[in-house]
Amino acid sequence: MKDYLVKALAYDGTVRVYAIQSTEMVREAARRQATWRTVTAALGRSLTAGTMMGSMLKGDEKLTIKIEGNGPACPIIIDAHADGTARGYVTHPHLDPERRENGKLNVAAVVGREGTLSVVKDLGMKDYFTGSVPIVSGELGEDFTYYFASSEQTPSSVGLGVVVGQEDDVEAAGGFILQMMPGAKDETIDEIEQRLNSLPPVSSMIQEGKKPEEIIEALTGEGNYTTLDNMAVSFECQCSKERIGNAIIGLGEEDITAMIEEDEGAETTCHFCNERYLFSKKELQNLLEEKRAEE
Protein backbone atom coordinates (compact mmCIF):
# COMPACT_ATOMS: atom_id res chain seq x y z
CA MET A 1 0.00 0.00 0.00
CA LYS A 2 1.27 3.46 -0.90
CA ASP A 3 2.24 5.77 1.93
CA TYR A 4 -0.07 8.68 2.60
CA LEU A 5 -0.94 11.39 5.09
CA VAL A 6 -4.31 12.66 6.29
CA LYS A 7 -5.02 16.14 7.68
CA ALA A 8 -8.16 16.62 9.74
CA LEU A 9 -10.01 18.97 12.07
CA ALA A 10 -12.12 17.92 15.06
CA TYR A 11 -14.13 19.45 17.90
CA ASP A 12 -15.52 22.36 15.88
CA GLY A 13 -12.13 23.17 14.38
CA THR A 14 -10.33 23.51 17.72
CA VAL A 15 -8.24 20.34 17.29
CA ARG A 16 -5.99 19.72 14.31
CA VAL A 17 -4.65 16.25 13.56
CA TYR A 18 -2.10 14.89 11.10
CA ALA A 19 -1.69 11.12 10.75
CA ILE A 20 0.65 9.28 8.42
CA GLN A 21 1.54 5.87 7.09
CA SER A 22 5.24 6.10 6.25
CA THR A 23 6.32 2.48 5.91
CA GLU A 24 7.68 2.60 2.36
CA MET A 25 9.51 5.90 2.74
CA VAL A 26 11.18 4.77 5.98
CA ARG A 27 12.07 1.46 4.34
CA GLU A 28 13.66 3.31 1.42
CA ALA A 29 15.60 5.66 3.70
CA ALA A 30 16.88 2.71 5.74
CA ARG A 31 17.89 0.89 2.56
CA ARG A 32 19.73 3.92 1.21
CA GLN A 33 21.52 4.51 4.52
CA ALA A 34 22.08 0.80 5.27
CA THR A 35 21.02 1.45 8.86
CA TRP A 36 20.99 -1.12 11.63
CA ARG A 37 17.72 -1.66 13.47
CA THR A 38 17.90 0.89 16.30
CA VAL A 39 19.18 3.60 13.98
CA THR A 40 16.45 2.61 11.51
CA ALA A 41 13.91 3.40 14.23
CA ALA A 42 15.56 6.74 15.02
CA LEU A 43 15.80 7.76 11.37
CA GLY A 44 12.27 6.51 10.68
CA ARG A 45 10.71 8.41 13.58
CA SER A 46 12.53 11.59 12.52
CA LEU A 47 11.52 11.19 8.88
CA THR A 48 7.90 10.49 9.85
CA ALA A 49 7.72 13.61 12.02
CA GLY A 50 9.49 15.72 9.40
CA THR A 51 7.10 14.65 6.65
CA MET A 52 4.07 15.63 8.75
CA MET A 53 5.68 18.96 9.63
CA GLY A 54 6.50 19.57 5.97
CA SER A 55 2.84 19.04 5.09
CA MET A 56 1.98 22.01 7.31
CA LEU A 57 3.77 24.28 4.82
CA LYS A 58 2.49 25.63 1.50
CA GLY A 59 3.64 25.74 -2.11
CA ASP A 60 7.41 25.51 -2.50
CA GLU A 61 8.12 25.96 1.20
CA LYS A 62 10.39 23.44 2.90
CA LEU A 63 12.04 22.77 6.22
CA THR A 64 15.17 21.17 7.62
CA ILE A 65 15.27 19.37 10.95
CA LYS A 66 18.60 18.84 12.68
CA ILE A 67 18.73 16.52 15.69
CA GLU A 68 22.04 17.04 17.45
CA GLY A 69 21.92 14.74 20.42
CA ASN A 70 24.95 13.49 22.33
CA GLY A 71 24.26 9.95 21.07
CA PRO A 72 26.53 8.27 18.51
CA ALA A 73 24.06 8.35 15.57
CA CYS A 74 23.78 12.14 15.50
CA PRO A 75 23.43 14.51 13.83
CA ILE A 76 20.27 13.28 12.13
CA ILE A 77 19.15 15.55 9.29
CA ILE A 78 15.69 15.62 7.68
CA ASP A 79 14.62 17.72 4.68
CA ALA A 80 10.86 17.89 4.04
CA HIS A 81 8.71 19.72 1.50
CA ALA A 82 5.09 20.87 1.47
CA ASP A 83 4.31 18.36 -1.31
CA GLY A 84 4.85 15.32 0.93
CA THR A 85 8.37 14.42 -0.19
CA ALA A 86 11.17 14.11 2.34
CA ARG A 87 14.65 12.69 2.78
CA GLY A 88 16.93 12.05 5.75
CA TYR A 89 20.27 10.73 6.87
CA VAL A 90 22.13 9.75 10.00
CA THR A 91 25.80 10.37 10.64
CA HIS A 92 26.54 6.85 11.95
CA PRO A 93 24.12 4.21 10.65
CA HIS A 94 25.74 1.07 12.10
CA LEU A 95 24.72 1.06 15.75
CA ASP A 96 22.52 -1.38 17.65
CA PRO A 97 22.64 -1.06 21.45
CA GLU A 98 20.90 -3.49 23.77
CA ARG A 99 17.12 -3.21 23.90
CA ARG A 100 15.38 -1.63 26.84
CA GLU A 101 14.04 -3.83 29.63
CA ASN A 102 10.60 -3.94 28.02
CA GLY A 103 12.11 -5.29 24.80
CA LYS A 104 11.71 -2.04 22.86
CA LEU A 105 14.50 -0.63 20.74
CA ASN A 106 16.57 1.86 22.74
CA VAL A 107 16.33 4.85 20.40
CA ALA A 108 17.50 7.29 23.08
CA ALA A 109 20.79 5.38 23.30
CA VAL A 110 21.67 6.28 19.70
CA VAL A 111 20.10 9.77 19.69
CA GLY A 112 21.26 10.82 23.15
CA ARG A 113 19.35 12.37 26.02
CA GLU A 114 21.04 15.76 25.77
CA GLY A 115 21.52 18.15 22.87
CA THR A 116 19.25 20.18 20.62
CA LEU A 117 16.44 19.71 18.11
CA SER A 118 16.37 22.52 15.55
CA VAL A 119 13.91 23.32 12.76
CA VAL A 120 14.62 25.80 9.96
CA LYS A 121 11.65 26.66 7.74
CA ASP A 122 12.39 28.12 4.31
CA LEU A 123 9.25 30.12 3.61
CA GLY A 124 10.53 31.69 0.38
CA MET A 125 11.52 35.29 -0.35
CA LYS A 126 14.56 34.84 1.94
CA ASP A 127 12.17 34.46 4.88
CA TYR A 128 13.38 31.87 7.39
CA PHE A 129 11.90 30.72 10.66
CA THR A 130 14.29 28.99 13.05
CA GLY A 131 13.34 27.24 16.27
CA SER A 132 15.58 25.24 18.58
CA VAL A 133 14.82 23.36 21.80
CA PRO A 134 16.74 21.06 24.12
CA ILE A 135 16.31 17.32 23.67
CA VAL A 136 14.18 16.09 26.56
CA SER A 137 14.16 12.30 26.14
CA GLY A 138 15.91 11.17 22.95
CA GLU A 139 12.93 8.98 22.08
CA LEU A 140 11.89 11.74 19.61
CA GLY A 141 8.10 11.70 20.05
CA GLU A 142 8.45 13.60 23.33
CA ASP A 143 11.13 15.81 21.80
CA PHE A 144 8.92 16.94 18.91
CA THR A 145 6.04 17.42 21.36
CA TYR A 146 8.28 19.74 23.39
CA TYR A 147 9.39 21.56 20.24
CA PHE A 148 5.82 22.49 19.30
CA ALA A 149 4.94 23.60 22.83
CA SER A 150 8.13 25.60 23.40
CA SER A 151 9.16 26.94 19.99
CA GLU A 152 5.79 27.33 18.27
CA GLN A 153 3.63 27.80 21.39
CA THR A 154 1.21 25.14 20.17
CA PRO A 155 0.13 22.50 22.73
CA SER A 156 0.66 19.24 20.84
CA SER A 157 1.05 15.51 21.18
CA VAL A 158 3.36 13.66 18.79
CA GLY A 159 3.31 9.89 18.40
CA LEU A 160 5.92 8.16 16.23
CA GLY A 161 6.44 4.46 15.57
CA VAL A 162 8.71 2.24 13.50
CA VAL A 163 8.39 -1.55 13.69
CA VAL A 164 11.60 -3.34 12.72
CA GLY A 165 11.32 -7.07 12.03
CA GLN A 166 13.61 -9.97 12.85
CA GLU A 167 15.46 -9.54 9.56
CA ASP A 168 16.01 -5.83 10.32
CA ASP A 169 13.45 -4.85 7.70
CA VAL A 170 10.89 -2.11 8.26
CA GLU A 171 7.53 -3.82 8.79
CA ALA A 172 5.52 -0.68 9.51
CA ALA A 173 6.01 3.01 10.23
CA GLY A 174 3.69 5.89 10.96
CA GLY A 175 2.60 8.46 13.48
CA PHE A 176 0.44 11.43 14.34
CA ILE A 177 0.61 15.06 15.43
CA LEU A 178 -2.38 16.35 17.38
CA GLN A 179 -2.56 20.09 18.10
CA MET A 180 -4.89 22.19 20.21
CA MET A 181 -6.03 25.36 18.48
CA PRO A 182 -6.98 28.64 20.18
CA GLY A 183 -10.51 28.46 21.52
CA ALA A 184 -10.40 24.81 22.55
CA LYS A 185 -12.78 24.23 25.44
CA ASP A 186 -11.61 22.78 28.75
CA GLU A 187 -13.86 19.74 28.28
CA THR A 188 -12.30 19.14 24.85
CA ILE A 189 -8.83 19.28 26.34
CA ASP A 190 -9.84 16.86 29.11
CA GLU A 191 -11.38 14.43 26.63
CA ILE A 192 -8.32 14.53 24.36
CA GLU A 193 -6.03 13.91 27.33
CA GLN A 194 -8.12 10.88 28.34
CA ARG A 195 -7.95 9.51 24.81
CA LEU A 196 -4.18 10.03 24.64
CA ASN A 197 -3.69 8.30 28.01
CA SER A 198 -5.68 5.25 26.88
CA LEU A 199 -4.18 5.14 23.38
CA PRO A 200 -2.00 2.09 22.60
CA PRO A 201 1.60 2.82 21.53
CA VAL A 202 1.55 4.13 17.98
CA SER A 203 3.96 1.33 16.97
CA SER A 204 1.33 -1.21 18.13
CA MET A 205 -1.37 0.55 16.15
CA ILE A 206 0.59 0.60 12.90
CA GLN A 207 1.76 -2.98 13.43
CA GLU A 208 -1.92 -3.97 13.63
CA GLY A 209 -2.41 -2.26 10.29
CA LYS A 210 -4.26 0.80 11.55
CA LYS A 211 -4.61 3.35 8.76
CA PRO A 212 -4.14 7.10 9.32
CA GLU A 213 -7.92 7.58 9.37
CA GLU A 214 -8.26 4.97 12.12
CA ILE A 215 -5.52 6.66 14.17
CA ILE A 216 -7.35 9.99 13.86
CA GLU A 217 -10.59 8.31 14.91
CA ALA A 218 -8.90 6.79 17.96
CA LEU A 219 -7.66 10.27 18.89
CA THR A 220 -10.88 12.19 18.33
CA GLY A 221 -13.76 9.72 18.45
CA GLU A 222 -15.88 8.03 15.81
CA GLY A 223 -17.40 10.43 13.31
CA ASN A 224 -15.99 13.40 15.20
CA TYR A 225 -13.53 14.71 12.63
CA THR A 226 -13.54 16.26 9.17
CA THR A 227 -10.86 15.32 6.63
CA LEU A 228 -9.15 18.34 5.09
CA ASP A 229 -6.63 16.61 2.84
CA ASN A 230 -5.34 13.20 1.86
CA MET A 231 -1.91 13.33 0.23
CA ALA A 232 0.70 10.86 -0.98
CA VAL A 233 4.10 10.96 0.74
CA SER A 234 7.42 9.49 -0.34
CA PHE A 235 11.17 9.44 0.14
CA GLU A 236 12.67 11.64 -2.53
CA CYS A 237 16.16 13.12 -2.88
CA GLN A 238 16.78 16.33 -4.81
CA CYS A 239 20.39 15.58 -5.63
CA SER A 240 21.58 15.49 -9.25
CA LYS A 241 24.84 15.63 -11.16
CA GLU A 242 24.00 19.18 -12.20
CA ARG A 243 23.62 20.27 -8.58
CA ILE A 244 26.88 18.60 -7.60
CA GLY A 245 28.53 20.30 -10.58
CA ASN A 246 27.27 23.69 -9.40
CA ALA A 247 28.74 22.95 -5.97
CA ILE A 248 32.10 22.17 -7.58
CA ILE A 249 31.95 25.47 -9.50
CA GLY A 250 31.52 27.16 -6.13
CA LEU A 251 34.90 25.82 -4.98
CA GLY A 252 38.13 27.73 -5.43
CA GLU A 253 39.96 27.48 -8.76
CA GLU A 254 42.91 25.82 -7.03
CA ASP A 255 40.70 23.06 -5.66
CA ILE A 256 39.19 22.28 -9.06
CA THR A 257 42.63 22.35 -10.70
CA ALA A 258 43.92 19.89 -8.08
CA MET A 259 41.03 17.54 -8.88
CA ILE A 260 41.99 17.67 -12.55
CA GLU A 261 45.77 17.41 -12.27
CA GLU A 262 46.26 15.35 -9.12
CA ASP A 263 43.12 13.24 -8.80
CA GLU A 264 42.37 13.05 -12.54
CA GLY A 265 38.67 13.27 -11.78
CA ALA A 266 36.29 13.49 -8.86
CA GLU A 267 33.81 11.26 -7.09
CA THR A 268 31.20 12.33 -4.56
CA THR A 269 28.36 10.58 -2.77
CA CYS A 270 25.08 12.16 -1.65
CA HIS A 271 24.64 11.94 2.14
CA PHE A 272 20.90 11.38 1.83
CA CYS A 273 20.54 8.73 -0.86
CA ASN A 274 24.11 7.40 -1.24
CA GLU A 275 23.98 8.01 -4.99
CA ARG A 276 27.52 8.23 -6.44
CA TYR A 277 28.47 10.91 -8.96
CA LEU A 278 31.62 10.68 -11.05
CA PHE A 279 33.25 13.59 -12.90
CA SER A 280 35.92 12.95 -15.53
CA LYS A 281 38.90 15.25 -16.12
CA LYS A 282 37.11 16.68 -19.15
CA GLU A 283 33.92 17.36 -17.18
CA LEU A 284 35.94 19.09 -14.46
CA GLN A 285 37.78 21.15 -17.07
CA ASN A 286 34.42 22.26 -18.47
CA LEU A 287 33.26 23.25 -14.98
CA LEU A 288 36.50 25.20 -14.45
CA GLU A 289 36.00 27.07 -17.70
CA GLU A 290 32.41 27.79 -16.72
CA LYS A 291 33.64 29.21 -13.39
CA ARG A 292 36.18 31.44 -15.14
CA ALA A 293 33.52 32.71 -17.55
CA GLU A 294 31.35 33.75 -14.61
CA GLU A 295 34.12 35.75 -12.93
The pLDDT tens digits for 20-65 are 999 999 999 999 999 999 999 999 999 999 999 999 999 999 999 9
Asked if 177 contacts 147 with a C-beta cutoff of 8 angstroms, the reply is no
Distance CA 47, CA 149 (A): 20
Helix (H) or strand (E) segment spanning residue 277: strand 276-279
Q: What pLDDT, on a 0 to 100 scale, did the predictor assign at position 160?
A: 97
Q: What pLDDT, on a 0 to 100 scale, did the predictor assign at position 66?
A: 98
C-alpha separations of 4 from 98, 232, 276, 278 in Å:
32, 4, 29, 35
Q: What pLDDT, on a 0 to 100 scale, did the predictor assign at position 89?
A: 93
Distance CA 288, CA 136 (A): 48
Q: What pLDDT, on a 0 to 100 scale, did the predictor assign at position 85?
A: 96
Q: What pLDDT, on a 0 to 100 scale, did the predictor assign at position 9?
A: 96
Q: Which residues, given as ranges, of the chain have pLDDT below 70?
A: 295
Asked if 160 contacts 144 with a C-beta cutoff of 8 angstroms, the reply is yes
Q: What pLDDT, on a 0 to 100 scale, did the predictor assign at position 56?
A: 96
Axis crossing angle, helix 37-54 with helix 23-33, rounded to the nearest 10: 130
Q: What pLDDT, on a 0 to 100 scale, did the predictor assign at position 96?
A: 86
Helix (H) or strand (E) segment spanning residue 128: strand 128-134
Q: What pLDDT, on a 0 to 100 scale, did the predictor assign at position 102?
A: 80
* Backbone region of residue 265 per phi and psi (left: phi > 0; alpha: psi in -120 to 50; beta: other values): left
Q: What pLDDT, on a 0 to 100 scale, did the predictor assign at position 225?
A: 93
